[in-house]
Amino acid sequence: MLYIGIDLGTSAVKLLLMDAEGDIKKIVSREYPLYFPNPGWSEQKPEDWYEQTILGLKELVADCNKDEVAGISFGGQMHGLVILDEKDTVIRPALLWNDGRTTKECDYLNQVIGKEKLSQYTANISFTGFTAPKILWIRNEEPENFARIKKLMLPKDYIAYMLSGVHCTDVSDASGMLIFDVKNKCWSKEMLEICGITENQVPKIFESYEVVGNLQPELAAELGLKETVKIIAGAGDNAAAAVGTGTVGDGRCNISLGTSGTIFISSKDFGVDKNNALHAFAHADGNYHLMGCMLSAASCNKWWMDDIIGTCDYQKEQADITKLGENNVYFLPYLMGERSPHNNPNARGTFIGLTMDSTRTDMTQAVLEGVAFAIRDSFEVAKSLGIQIERTKICGGGAKSTLWKTIFANVLNIKIDVIESEEGPALGGAMLAMVGCGEYSNVEEAAAKLVKVVDTIEPDKELAEKYEAKYQKFAQIYPTVKELFDTLVK
């Protein structure tokens, strides 16, 4: 049988077709616009997601035996707010995960409601990217739209709804809304009340591998697929990527270098970082995970290459980087503000340490190293909890760079395992579809069968020591300039 994974990303939807043995038959990617109506705002039209997903599905299955397609599941950008009216029509463009307009609402949640209560209700505190402050923003700033809300949901869940007709979400994605009781895997009545919404306005909750319904008949006919095709709940992009890299079960780690960057640690047990510097979420394997998330990761390198120095040849730019651990230029990668561990939407990207003999190559290297140092910030929080990590998987667009993986191995001083297929959330989505359709009994079994490590990058003792010294300097920069960021923004 054949299985489809749909990764609803920030810049494009990526669709993957795979058989039960893990052989990827075809991959399709289709882009859609991203809108920035005001500085710090970030929006997309759900209708664009759906249009490109359907076009992508048609292209994906064009040459396969359509009767063999058994299930479809998802990975998707988290935290975005999609609101529908009583006719299930989109009311306004979706507010995305990297939208920073909700500072006032976050302050209200963290300072008035209080971080302690938020953590008690949801296992997390408020970040500008989370969904609850977006709901409050709509209530405060667009009351006419708020009054029309019949259903609210997350980005990938809109696609799942359009395919199945079921208003659904999964536990991993719901964990990032700040209205979900992560420990007990149910909606938080207290948070729903704080946000002014009812349980009727939120979707039904599923485990990531559970079937929510079947492909709607009219869509099945349009796509040439059977009406028996199962739609499986899927997961937030980071949890889906973790499934795709085999980061399931207890004590596994994955680093994702996409538009955003994450360090993801799976756990059999529920646990909360007492300072809430790391997110405590439900995992797509039925368990839990801790996650540190930075808002700009591979997007920092894309910004530097495309917009600043004006080149598409990333490999050529990196080829000149030969003196690892010796760069005196530092870069704070906070181009969209920052989430973990600083939780500061006012943080900004910063080069520091430039001299007259600093080169373009030094600055390129600083961008790559800055992202690695920022991930280490969250890594250090995990270590402070007594979590010992000796190796990690890696995925995302940035993971295609051997140089960047080498930098990460030495900045973190751990082994980096490279897997055979680095297709991230789309691969994880297809694997969740397999579990939902009964091809595998659980997510861990699917990962053990399908995820293969093909290379390991080990840290070099001397280089790791150099990066240790560099990181200690990097770690002093943000606290030193934090107050300046606040004055620049205000």
Q: What's the Cα-to-Cα distance from 127 to each of 15, 131, 352, rounded to whole Å? A: 30, 9, 27
Rounded to whole angstroms, the Cα distance separating 162 from 87 reads 13
Rounded to whole angstroms, the Cα distance separating 21 from 3 reads 11
Strands (DSSP E) contained in 211-300 are 211-214, 230-232, 235-236, 253-257, 261-267, 279-282, 288-294
| Max Cα-Cα span within the chain | 66
Q: Which two tokens stand for residue 395?
A: 């995925």
Q: Is the peptide bond before 37 cis (omega within 30 degrees of 0)?
A: no
Contacts of 139 (CB under 8 A, 6+ apart): 146, 195, 196
Give the three-state DSSP class for 453.
Answer: strand
Helix (H) or strand (E) holding 456: strand 453-457
Strands (DSSP E) contained in 160-236 are 168-170, 180-181, 186-187, 204-206, 211-214, 230-232, 235-236
Helix (H) or strand (E) holding 283: none
Rounded to whole angstroms, the Cα distance separating 267 from 263 reads 13
Give the three-state DSSP class for 337.
Answer: strand
Number of neighbours of residue 15 by Cβ within 10 angstroms = 28
Rounded to whole angstroms, the Cα distance separating 47 from 321 reads 43
Number of neighbours of residue 459 by Cβ within 10 angstroms = 19
Establish whether 283 is an annotated binding residue: no
Selected catalytic residue, list 237, 273, 362, 377: 237
Q: Which two tokens stand for residue 332?
A: 């704070």
Determine whether 237 is an active site residue.
yes
Helix (H) or strand (E) holding 385: none
Helix then strand then coil, % of the chain, to nearest 5: 40, 25, 35
Establish whether 79 is an annotated binding residue: yes
Burial class (CB in 10 A: 0-12, 13-18, 19+), 309: exposed
Residues with catalytic function: 237
Binding residues for substrate: 78-79
Binding residues: 78-79
